[in-house]
Amino acid sequence: MEVSVLNINGENTGRKVTLDESIFGIEPNEHVVYMDVRQYLANQRQGTHKSKERSEISGSTRKLGRQKGGGGARRGDINSPLLVGGARVFGPKPRDYRFKLNKKVKQLARKSALSQKAIENAIVVVEDFNFDAPATKAFVQMLNKLNISEKKQLFVLPSANKNVYLSARNLKRTQVAIASDINTYVIMNADVLVIAESSLGVINNTLNKSKEA
């Protein structure tokens, strides 16, 4: 699949790049995409939720009423879950929500996500660019010229670029990521991928490691 290379003014440079069919041209596997996104979201959870159980409530242990004959539910002390201010039955406890996925599954998920964006024609390849200093205004102008300012964008850079990151930091719909670190969630969460030309080589090397081995 060939894609035209644009400059930051949205103009066609007359050059084209070929997207690797083994990454951008496979049949998307929806289930592995779901599993990878689910793992990413699970890993974001703190898992610090906690409610007090009966043994942790401070209160008298005196039995409040008769066992039978009162016409209501059986209850013991004032810490009973049946009473206002009592404990909670089987409440949440601190736990770790993380779970494991095999590397090949995660790799297939990222390839599936990128292929899905290619199918949707939601990939824009731009020349490598940089800013001399952080400039949000210049970044917004670039978005307008690329006609993507109203969409959620993921900018994929070949390496960390502080000026580009700071220029985009305050923009609600914009996210900047390094090509070697992109994950399935950020790919699927974006409406359009804006990939710097040099990032394609990094993506190819990252996702085709096992094939070369």
| pTM for the whole structure | 0.83
Cα separation, 159 vs 161, whole angstroms? 6
The pLDDT tens digits for 40-96 are 999 999 999 999 998 899 988 899 888 999 888 888 899 999 889 899 999 999 999
Task: Find, among 50, 47, 45, the residue nearest to 90 by Cα.
Answer: 50
What's the average model confidence in pLDDT over 112-118?
96
Please return the burial class of 81, using the count of CB atoms within 10 Å of its CB with bins 0-12, 13-18 and 19+: middle
What's the average model confidence in pLDDT over 166-171?
94
Q: Which domains does the chain have, with CATH numbers?
A: 2-45+98-212 (3.40.1370.10), 51-91 (no CATH)
Please return the burial class of 168, using the count of CB atoms within 10 Å of its CB with bins 0-12, 13-18 and 19+: buried
Residue 212 pLDDT more than 60? no
What's the average model confidence in pLDDT over 93-120?
95
What's the confidence (pLDDT) of residue 138? Answer: 94
What's the confidence (pLDDT) of residue 211? Answer: 53
Strand partners for 174: 153
